[in-house]
A and B are shown apart, each in its own frame.
Chain A
Amino acid sequence: MAPQPVVTGLSPKEGPPGTRVIIRGEFLGTRVQDLIGLKICGSDCLLSAEWKSSNKIIARTGPAKGKGDIIVTTLSGGVGTSTVQFRAYHETIGPLKESAVWIEESPSQNFAWGRRTLTQSGLTQEDPLGLSIEGNEQKIPEDLRDLFPEACGDLSQEHFSPSWFLLENHLATSFEDLKAGLAYLKRKVESQKEGQLSFLKSNAGSVIDQLDTLMNIRDKLQEDLKLHGTEPLNILEASIENSITESQKIFTDVLVRKEKADSTRSVLFALSRHKFLFCLPNAVDRRAKAGEYDIVVNDYSRAKNLFGKTEIPIFRKVLEEVDQRILSIRKQLHEKVVKMPQSVDQQKKLIKALTSLGAPSGTPIGDKLRNIDPAWDAIEARAKYLEATFRQTFEQHANKDAAGTPEKSKSRDRDRDPSQAPSRVNFCEELCDIAASQLPDLWRLGQLYFTGELRGPHDPKPGDFKKMILNAIEKFCVYLRLAILIAGDQRALRQSSGLSWSIGSASATHQFLPWIPQCLRYTRIAYATLIGLDLPSDALDIIQKLIDEVRLFCFSIIFKRSTDRCKKLGSQETWELGVEDYPGATILPAALEALLVETLDEVQSVCMQPESREGNLLEPQSDGQREVSQRLQEFLSTFSAVIEELAFQSHDEETPTHNVSQLLGFPNAQQLDSVASGGAAVTWEQRMLCCLANYAYCNKSFFPHIGDVFVRYGYPLPTLAIETSRYTVNQLFTNLLEEYVEHKGDPLVGTIEPSMYLGRFQWDHEMEIGQLRPYAHECCDNLVGVYSEIYSISPALLRPILESIVQTISEELARLMSCVQRFSFTGAIQAHVDIRLLRDALEGYANETAKNYFMEALEAINPPLNVEQKRKADEILERVKRNMRLQLLCFTIKEP
């Protein structure tokens, strides 16, 4: 602790209150805040103290009087001491004296202030020297008591000291004046010594005047006595009393009226001043009716600010009324907020108004309102409304459909304009519109709520909101699914949603199917809107799933339609051979490709091309790919079926021309007919061959080409479908080939035996040799005919067809030869020549089996040929070959 403060110097050392004093000393504080007390002569001067340094403080003295210490108190040093003392004195303030401070006046003013005292006792005489003491207010040098320890300045005291008196009262009086004062005093003493007689003498005139006046007064008194009796004052008193009461009454009256007027005025003033508050209840109602909630909010908050804490009962009453009104307005507002439909902005405005109208907590009303979260209520209401709208729309359309279908579905289906959309489509459009318009509103409201713009007093519930959004979207999807995916698993949907939309008649369904792309478009538009909203991805995924499903469904439908169209392709067959790289194939595959390309184009534009935020349907191992494969397979197998139908359809129409054997003499009229009818058109055989060619073409190059088309469109190569289809086509090709061979080969082969034994021919008879037998000729010719027929359509088919025919021929020959019992010499040569010729001619189309048969036929000639016979046969064969050079030439071409 620092040393005690010590005051050792004062400048000045005395003065009246308010004197500026420089206090010097030691340890007067380390800083301004350290100085916590300053007393000069007992009066606290800390307020005026100005701390300069630890040695110096400047202060102004307080209203103290007398001599006293200067006590400085500091935090660090405590209460201090003083070696010097200050003397405070009060100056007497006269009319001509300026004063900086308030001077206590009461002691110097007696009760009869302002009146001159009538008599002046010599003892109390203020100015015994007859000198003015004005201007003598010089400070008293020291304590007079110090100077004159045993004296007193009081004239009446025994130990009166003239020096004291003079110092006290005439400090500034000059010596000359004092002399005059002395003379005055002496004169007074002299006059007192002369006595009463001399006083009378000198004042004789005035004494007589006084006597006269006294006489007059006595006369007047007696007159009054006669006039008013002994007690004249009574009347006077009574009338005075009376007038006093009267005046009192008037005064009171006026006072009361004034008070009344004053209070009325103040009331009016208060009314006009707080007009705002008093008008508020009605104003609030009016504004609320007009829908100007902003103004209501404004006024209410203003009123709350201004009068919220008022204690004045009338204000409180009005405020309570306002609160009541506000409460009812809040109720209305709340109803309005929850009421749908309305725009988000409107709702936002209402919610803001509601939130702003929230009463301050503490009041029971406020607490009750506090629990209400208008924004959340609005969101819930919106979500409910959305759901209700979905349902309502659904029911409306579903009921319409249901009501219409059973009664007059026939007529309606017939009457219905095909361009007019079915109600499912309308429903889709409406539902999507609703979703696209209301979901964004809901979402925006939610965003506003969670960003805090509309936040109520409660914490937000993001989980609930998300659930709500998801729920709404789920509902949306369920309804759409019900409406669109009529082929889907309706039962599962019905169980999950409890809703159903009867599928109705097949024709209605059929009518609806082409509209599905339209529905998809609506859904996609709605989806695009929702994507723009920045919704959570799991919400969008729901719709995406739906869209993907619908897309796939769409795809299936389009392909099914194409398949249907493909079925009708048969009628378009013109039998024109238009394929360059595969002779014999018609333009049917080209038509199919055109159809496929068209379909793929449509599919691509309608559904396969993924739009924003949609999945690729062609993921490996996905439903999409499976569907594509399946559809393509279906499509291609339909095509195969079409070709088959074409082939066999013609089979039914025409009987095949059995005009194989001219030798047997079948009626020629039929052949002529068929030639006449088939000349312009295409013959059955040609069609058959075309179909065969088509099959082969499909198998060989067209189907892989289809695969290329798919790849070109961005699909994965549908290997499975193509392979399966190729297999089917192969199968069909084989069937058809067998059919053709049967139809062509059977008559040909069948004619050999009758032709051989024509004209009772026997092999054991000798015969003229040197020529070929007619049956062999005929067989050759027939084969050439078949050959030319095939060659004109599709050379590629020659080998498979001819091979099988040649085989049957060789088999037949072998059979026939083995049946012959015995050959004549010439017969053996003839048979040998015939068989060898045929064998040699057909060598190019003979397979191993056929060759064996031929060998078997040759070996069957019994007895075997001797050398001469052989030579003869070679000779004849040589000649016959030369003769038949042209016929045989065509068979020698290995690969036409």
Chain B
Amino acid sequence: MSEPTSHVLPLHRIIMLGGEGVGKSALTLQFMYNEYNDEYEPTKADIYRKTLQLDGEQVQIDILDTAGQKVNVVIRDSYYRRADGFLCVFSIADEGSFQAIQAARDLVLQLRKDESVPFLLVGNKSDLQEERQVPLGECQARARKWGVSYVETSAKLHQNVHLVFYDLMRQISSRKASESMATNGGRKCKKKGCHACAIL
């Protein structure tokens, strides 16, 4: 059953990407319910949806919290195709998780064939600076290389949690706006325009 308003309101689908144990669910729960739990429980596939204000406009956000572990490829692909934006999360205290995000980025590009799809690189667990394994410079370099923004967060301390979600939603909504304009204008030129917007 779906609410009548949900048809009217713009719906932004976000997928959480990243290796296992980097804090995707923690970020999600912190964003949704201001809830934090130190206990680790592997996620299968969780779904969250709520209505919120974005720059004076009511929007719905739909977060698909995927599993960090290996999952069925077909399902994953179908998800990726339908998503509006991606939050790509790694742990700054885990070199392995930083390496793994390259594969995720590659997969997104392979499926969407669009480098300007709304995408945010998130270095989580910024509270663990003393255990840091990935230098900040390296992270920023990677973001630059991909042409995306990089934000460091701490789900535990609730740092930058809302920022990343709202950033991504803004990217999504502006891209949707330009897309609808492009539909009105011409289908071919939409991707490039959008890319420009995203960078802006």
Residues of A within 8 A of B (CB): 8-15, 24, 55-56, 68-69, 81-85, 138-139, 141-142, 147, 167, 171
- CB–CB A13/B6 < 8 A: no
Minimum distance in angstroms from B10 CB to a CB of chain A: 14
Determine the residue in chain A with the shortest Cβ distance to B81.
A147
- CB–CB A167/B6 < 8 A: no
Contact flag A9-B74 (CB < 8 Å), given A83-B49, A83-B50, A84-B47: no
Interface centre among B43, B48, B51, B60 (most CB of A within 10 A): B48
> B72 at interface (Cβ–Cβ under 8 A)?
yes
Minimum distance in angstroms from A12 CB to a CB of chain B: 4
Contact with A along B1-34 (1 / 0, CB 8 A): 1010010000000000000000001000100110
List 8 A–B pairs whose Cβ atoms lie within 8 Å, in order of A's numbering. Answer: A8-B48, A9-B32, A9-B48, A69-B1, A82-B1, A83-B51, A84-B47, A141-B78
- CB–CB B45/A8 < 8 A: no
A11 to B51, CA, bound (A): 19
Residues of B within 8 A of A13 (CB): 45-47
Minimum distance in angstroms from A702 CB to a CB of chain B: 123
Determine the residue in chain A with the shortest Cβ distance to B32.
A9
- CB–CB B46/A9 < 8 A: yes
Interface set, chain B 72-87, CB cutoff 8 A to A: 72, 74-75, 78
> B114 at interface (Cβ–Cβ under 8 A)?
no
A83 to B60, CA, bound (A): 10
> B35 at interface (Cβ–Cβ under 8 A)?
yes
A138 to B45, CA, bound (A): 15
Residues of B within 8 A of A171 (CB): 72, 74
A68 to B2, CA, bound (A): 10
A147 to B43, CA, bound (A): 25
A10 to B62, CA, bound (A): 12
A8 to B62, CA, bound (A): 9
- CB–CB A141/B75 < 8 A: yes
Contact flag A141-B48 (CB < 8 Å), given A11-B65, A147-B78: no
Contact with A along B33-73 (1 / 0, CB 8 A): 10100000001111111110000000010000100000010
Minimum distance in angstroms from A171 CB to a CB of chain B: 7
Residues of B within 8 A of A (CB): 1, 3, 6, 25, 29, 32-33, 35, 43-51, 60, 65, 72, 74-75, 78
- CB–CB B46/A8 < 8 A: no
Minimum distance in angstroms from B6 CB to a CB of chain A: 7
Residues of B within 8 A of A83 (CB): 3, 6, 49-51, 60
Minimum distance in angstroms from B32 CB to a CB of chain A: 6
Find B74's partner among A56, A68, A141 (CB 8 Å cutoff). Answer: A141
A84 to B13, CA, bound (A): 12
Minimum distance in angstroms from A775 CB to a CB of chain B: 165
- CB–CB B33/A55 < 8 A: yes
- CB–CB A24/B48 < 8 A: yes
- CB–CB A11/B43 < 8 A: yes
Determine the residue in chain A with the shortest Cβ distance to B48.
A9
Residues of A within 8 A of B43 (CB): 11-12
Find A142's partner among B3, B48, B75 (CB 8 Å cutoff). Answer: B75
6 smallest CB-CB distances across A and B, nearest first, come from A141-B75, A11-B46, A13-B47, A12-B44, A9-B48, A83-B49
Contact flag A141-B46 (CB < 8 Å), given A8-B32, A9-B32, A147-B78: no
Residues of A within 8 A of B29 (CB): 9, 24
- CB–CB A8/B49 < 8 A: yes
Residues of A within 8 A of B25 (CB): 11
Residues of A within 8 A of B3 (CB): 81, 83
New contact pairs (13) apart from A83-B60, A141-B78, CB-CB < 8 Å: A8-B50, A9-B48, A24-B32, A55-B33, A56-B35, A81-B1, A83-B49, A85-B1, A85-B47, A141-B72, A141-B74, A141-B75, A142-B78
A508 to B48, CA, bound (A): 126
A15 to B50, CA, bound (A): 22
Determine the residue in chain A with the shortest Cβ distance to B76.
A141
Minimum distance in angstroms from B109 CB to a CB of chain A: 21
Minimum distance in angstroms from A206 CB to a CB of chain B: 45
Minimum distance in angstroms from B9 CB to a CB of chain A: 11
Minimum distance in angstroms from A4 CB to a CB of chain B: 11
Determine the residue in chain B with the shortest Cβ distance to A140.
B75
Determine the residue in chain B with the shortest Cβ distance to A21.
B46
Residues of B within 8 A of A14 (CB): 45
Minimum distance in angstroms from B16 CB to a CB of chain A: 12
A8 to B31, CA, bound (A): 12
A147 to B25, CA, bound (A): 27
Minimum distance in angstroms from B125 CB to a CB of chain A: 21
A138 to B29, CA, bound (A): 28
Minimum distance in angstroms from A146 CB to a CB of chain B: 9
- CB–CB A167/B74 < 8 A: yes
Residues of B within 8 A of A142 (CB): 75, 78
Minimum distance in angstroms from A615 CB to a CB of chain B: 96
A85 to B2, CA, bound (A): 9
Minimum distance in angstroms from A190 CB to a CB of chain B: 31
A24 to B78, CA, bound (A): 25
Residues of A within 8 A of B35 (CB): 24, 55-56
A167 to B72, CA, bound (A): 12
Determine the residue in chain B with the shortest Cβ distance to A166.
B74
Minimum distance in angstroms from A28 CB to a CB of chain B: 11
Interface centre among B29, B51, B74 (most CB of A within 10 A): B74
Find A12's partner among B45, B51, B75, B78 (CB 8 Å cutoff). Answer: B45
Minimum distance in angstroms from B195 CB to a CB of chain A: 28
A81 to B49, CA, bound (A): 12
Find A9's partner among B1, B6, B33, B60 (CB 8 Å cutoff). Answer: B33
A11 to B45, CA, bound (A): 7
A147 to B75, CA, bound (A): 11
Residues of B within 8 A of A81 (CB): 1, 3
Contact flag A24-B33 (CB < 8 Å), given A141-B75, A171-B74: yes
Determine the residue in chain A with the shortest Cβ distance to B67.
A12
- CB–CB A84/B49 < 8 A: yes
Contact flag A12-B1 (CB < 8 Å), given A138-B72, A171-B74: no
A14 to B74, CA, bound (A): 16
Determine the residue in chain B with the shortest Cβ distance to A55.
B33
- CB–CB A10/B75 < 8 A: no
Residues of B within 8 A of A167 (CB): 74
Residues of A within 8 A of B74 (CB): 141, 167, 171
Residues of B within 8 A of A85 (CB): 1, 47
Interface centre among A15, A138, A141 (most CB of B within 10 A): A141
Minimum distance in angstroms from B132 CB to a CB of chain A: 29
Residues of B within 8 A of A10 (CB): 46-48
Determine the residue in chain B with the shortest Cβ distance to A83.
B49
Residues of A within 8 A of B75 (CB): 139, 141-142
A53 to B8, CA, bound (A): 31
Minimum distance in angstroms from A149 CB to a CB of chain B: 14
A167 to B25, CA, bound (A): 29
Residues of B within 8 A of A82 (CB): 1
A740 to B43, CA, bound (A): 154
A69 to B70, CA, bound (A): 28
A138 to B71, CA, bound (A): 11
A55 to B50, CA, bound (A): 13
Determine the residue in chain B with the shortest Cβ distance to A141.
B75
Residues of A within 8 A of B60 (CB): 83
Residues of A within 8 A of B33 (CB): 9, 24, 55-56
Minimum distance in angstroms from B27 CB to a CB of chain A: 13
Residues of A within 8 A of B78 (CB): 141-142, 147
A620 to B43, CA, bound (A): 113
Residues of A within 8 A of B46 (CB): 9-13
A535 to B51, CA, bound (A): 92
Residues of B within 8 A of A69 (CB): 1
Contact flag A84-B44 (CB < 8 Å), given A9-B33, A141-B72: no
Determine the residue in chain B with the shortest Cβ distance to A10.
B47
Minimum distance in angstroms from A110 CB to a CB of chain B: 31
Determine the residue in chain B with the shortest Cβ distance to A7.
B49
A24 to B32, CA, bound (A): 9
Residues of A within 8 A of B47 (CB): 9-10, 13, 84-85
A82 to B6, CA, bound (A): 11
